[in-house]
Amino acid sequence: MKARSAVMYVSFGVATMAASLWIAPYLAADESPLQEAPASAAAMANPYRGKSDAAATGKRLYGQNCAQCHGANLQGIGPAPALDSPAVKTAKPGELFWFISTGKVSSGMPSWSNLPKVQRWQIVTFLQSKTTAK
């Protein structure tokens, strides 16, 4: 009887581990890299908030630098996430700016710190105008 119990425990353990490996990517997908922004970045205000000319320039810059991965309509392409998601909609402007500036190479997102600061803020302004307009 003890051998049967041991087999059941081992089988249960293997099944639990397999289920964890299957579920883990889905749980990780819900975690936003924006949450990794330091408090100092999250506290930054968007100097172009509400300025339609900045949003229009940001839209052009988005098309030149971001749309090839995130889609022309923010829908995401392949592994690149959609930018009309709840994570982006609820993100603070400074978190978006920080993530655009820093990137996350392990996820395929390059740093865009080579873009002038004003252009990164204009992209943030565009993203926030698109995500709040829905």
Average pLDDT, rounded, for the chain: 81
Which structure tokens are listed for 101? 């500036």
pLDDT at position 1 over 70: no
Can you tell me which residue has the tokens 């300025």?
51
pLDDT in tens, 73-115: 999 998 899 999 888 888 999 999 999 999 998 888 999 999 9
Among 58, 105, 106, which residue's Cα sits nearest to residue 83? 58
Using a pLDDT cut of 70, give the percent of the chain over it.
72
Surface-to-core class of residue 20, CB atoms within 10 Å of its CB (0-12 exposed, 13-18 middle, 19+ buried): exposed
Show me where the domains of the chain are located.
1-30, 33-132
Is domain 33-132 in CATH 3.30.70.360, yes or no? Answer: no
Using a pLDDT cut of 90, give the percent of the chain over it.
57
Helix intervals (H) in 71-132? 86-89, 93-102, 117-132
pLDDT at position 26 over 60: no
pLDDT in tens, 35-57: 788 999 999 999 999 999 999 99
pLDDT band with cut points at 50, 70 and 90 for residue 4: low
What pLDDT does 29 receive?
45
